[in-house]
Structure 1
Amino acid sequence: MKKWGFLLLLLLCLCLTFINIEPFFEPKEEIQNYDHYENDKVEDRRISGNLQKKEITEEQIYQGNLLLVNSEYPVHPESIKSDVINLSTHNVLTKGYGLLESAIYLSEDIARRFSEMITAAEKEGVRNFSITSGFRDFDKQSVLYQEMGSAYALPAGYSEHNLGLSLDVGSTQMKMAEASEGKWIEKNAWKYGFILRYPKDKTDVTGIQYEPWHIRYVGLPHSAIMKEKNFALEEYLDYLKEEKHISESINGEKYSITYYSISQSRTFNVPDNSYFEISGNNMDGVIVTVYQINYRVKC
Structure 2
Amino acid sequence: MNPENRDDYLILVNSTHSVSNDYKPSDLTDIADTRKDRDAQQMCLVAEKALEALYIEMRANGFTDVSVTSGYRSYYTQEYLFNNSVNSIMSRDGCSEAEAKKKAAVGTAPPGTSEHQTGLCCDMHNLDTAKQSFADEAAAKWLAENAHKFGFILRYQKDKQDITGIMFEPWHFRYVGRYHATKMYEYKMCLEEYLAKYKNS
TM-score (norm 2): 0.80
Matched, 1:84 2:28: yes
Matches within 5 A, 1:1-299: 64-76=8-20, 80-87=24-31, 93-94=32-33, 98-149=35-86, 150=101, 151=104, 152-172=107-127, 175-243=133-201
Number of equivalenced pairs: 176
CA distance in 2: counterparts of 1:127 and 1:237, whole angstroms: 34
Q: Is the 8 A contact 2:9 2:176 kept in 1?
A: yes
**Inter-partner Cα distance in structure 2 for 1:143 and 1:119:** 34
* Moved segments of 4+, more than 4 Å: 76-79, 172-175
Task: Say which SS state the counterpart of residue 147 (structure 1) adopts.
Answer: helix
Query: Is the 2:29–2:44 contact (alpha carbons within 8 Å) kept by the matching residues of 1?
Result: yes
Return the alpha-carbon distance in structure 2 between the equivalents of residues 218 and 100 of structure 1: 28
1: CA distance, partners of 2:22 / 2:178: 23
Q: Which moved more, 1:76-85 or 1:177-186?
A: 76-85
More helix by share: 2
Report the AA paired with residue 109 of structure 2.
L
AA partner of residue 113 (structure 2): Y
Find the residue that maps to 1:212 and give its secondary structure: strand
Structure 2 residue runs without a partner (length 5+): 87-100
Code of the aligned partner of 2:172: H
Aligned to 1:264: none
Deviation of 1:99 (Å): 4.1
What amino acid is the match of 2:182?
Answer: A
Give the aligned CA root-mean-square deviation in angstroms: 2.2
Q: How far did residue 197 of structure 1 move?
A: 0.3
5+ long unaligned stretches in structure 1: 1-22, 25-62, 88-92, 244-299
AA partner of residue 163 (structure 1): T
CA distance in 2: counterparts of 1:126 and 1:233, whole angstroms: 27
Counterpart AA for 1:107: C
Name the aligned partner's letter for residue 69 of structure 1.
Answer: V
Q: What TM-score, normalized by structure 1, do the two folds share?
A: 0.55
CA distance in 1, matches of 2:116, 2:39: 17
Give 1:78 shift. Answer: 8.5
Q: What is the CA–CA distance in structure 1 between the aligned matches of 2:37 and 2:135, rounded to whole Å?
A: 18
Distance 1:155 1:204 in 2: 17
Percent of aligned pairs sharing the same letter:
35
TM-aligned CA distance change 1:70 to 1:167, over 3 Å: same
Q: Which has the higher contact order (CA 8 A, sep 6+)?
A: 1
More strand by share: 1
- Asked if structure 2 preserves the Cα contact closer than 8 Å seen for 1:100 and 1:130, the reply is no
* Code of the aligned partner of 1:162: Q
| 8 Å CA contact 1:135, 1:162 repeated in 2 | yes
- SS class of match (1:106): strand
Larger radius of gyration: 1
Does the CA contact (< 8 Å) of 2:22 and 2:75 recur in 1?
no
